[in-house]
A and B are shown apart, each in its own frame.
Chain A
């Protein structure tokens, strides 16, 4: 079954075409990595799917439903969840609370005030399980700002997973992380994706990471999709390599 389908989506900022006639289809459980040089429109793609921005033209279908004009809150309710390029956590809370607040929100307890947190054992247990899944149990009681940047990235992703998404979009989950930790974090995230079988879109800037972990890869350049296929196909294509190398490393 198709989880997500973009039909000729366009989005411009002034004269710049951030998304130019984008059409993508994602089936259930599929993991797609999106790569492209700076300004290719990768983040705009996520913004449009998550409702942060509305497209100028085109339609976005989710589970067979037209969600093009749905506000973000409604999309979250339907299981469309995103993370941000820069770490976006709740900075005065502990690691545990960061994830708990997300679990509570999914369970529709976000406005509940008749009982104190201690009584929501189901949510507490679930939070504990998510911590375990991401290997964050030891740091649970730490303030989020006192753990390493890489682990904060993981907490950021864990907050998204706590919402039990049907479609998750991760915007450069390894950006800003020290090179030696990148693999570690990507492996953990992919491990969780495999276990939960959630349909995923992962934006990645780092070619090595994409070719190492990618299955299906979408290459974007100047607002357009210039390639969409298996990792081997993309790797062999010299044209694409030139764009990526030119854009990323020049």
Chain B
């Protein structure tokens, strides 16, 4: 039979794994030269999950969420409350808690929001996210308000990391998250390449027709919404364990903006886009922060990306690879 399901550069799982492996190999070298940049890579790997989740909705289902901070917040405060009220600092339990609570929240708001698309969906999500943010902000006797909830270093499988020096602790964090990210990337890749993934793309391209080939579009969107929420909450859980502080910032609209920006930077609609975007975003952010008006620098950059490379870095890379391959073929 003819091979029809071709996957281009960046959409195949191999390129994704190779990219992550290269980062994992480079990390210790970079950390030795500059621990600061090592931590930046730590941020990069932490945010991949949220961006993959966002892109499932945006790049593959056609729903632009301006409120993904909502689910990062749910993940983050699940960790905060688990520690504050139950004294739990096991990261496995944090992850489990984050997945459960984000699923519950997605099941509550999902059936309503998936009935909207385009700007209506975007604003609806933003509004709900801001409501939750204001709760974290105002109910300070529960959430600690802007002071947040301080959490200690996490433990893995009951092994405490409290006694480690910072560098070793960070290495453990980095490789734990990288390992987890390999799994998350693989699962997401399988979802996008499954019949369900193709159904989502068909909804993205033509809602009406999708309905007339027998797809319950609200049901499909709800499933995608729940998966997206879980992925975002995982980043929420990881990020607060990285910072060891839970504050309302992670649920604020600027966090949603970051998710959108980093995904566009990497390239939506190509699988590797969000993965590349997460690292490049944090690297650029660290550079930009050296300026006083760093937000302005980021703003100019967004405009430049939208105009110069609307497909993002991944799309640019694919084009270059295509050119290189055809050159080699022509050269013999």
Seen from chain A, the residues whose Cβ lies within 8 Å of a Cβ on chain B are 50, 72-73, 76-77, 81-82, 84, 88-94, 96-97, 100-102, 104-106, 109-118, 120, 123-125, 127-128, 140-141, 159, 162-163
Contact = CB atoms under 8 A, between A and B. Distances in A.
A140 B4 contact: yes
Contacts of A159: 209, 213
B204 A114 contact: no
B157 interface: no
Given A81-B212, A117-B5, A163-B213, A93 B205 contact: yes
Nearest to B203: A90
Interface of B is mostly: helix
B4 A163 contact: no
Contacts of B147: none
B6 A141 contact: yes
18 contacts: A73-B211, A73-B214, A81-B212, A84-B209, A101-B199, A104-B195, A105-B213, A106-B214, A110-B195, A112-B196, A113-B194, A113-B197, A116-B190, A117-B195, A118-B193, A128-B1, A163-B213, A163-B214
Q: Which of B4, B204, B205 has the most CB of A within 10 A?
A: B4
Given A113-B194, A140-B4, A92 B201 contact: yes
A109 B216 CA distance: 12
A93 B202 contact: yes
Interface string B246-270: 0000000000000000000000010
Given A88-B206, A106-B214, A101 B196 contact: no
Interface string B180-210: 0000000000110111111101101110111
Q: Which of A94, A105, A106, A115 has the most CB of B within 10 A?
A: A105
Contacts of A163: 213-214
A100 B198 contact: yes
A228 B220 CA distance: 42
Given A93-B202, A110-B195, A111-B196, 10 more contacts: A77-B214, A92-B204, A105-B215, A112-B194, A117-B194, A124-B1, A128-B2, A140-B2, A159-B209, A162-B213
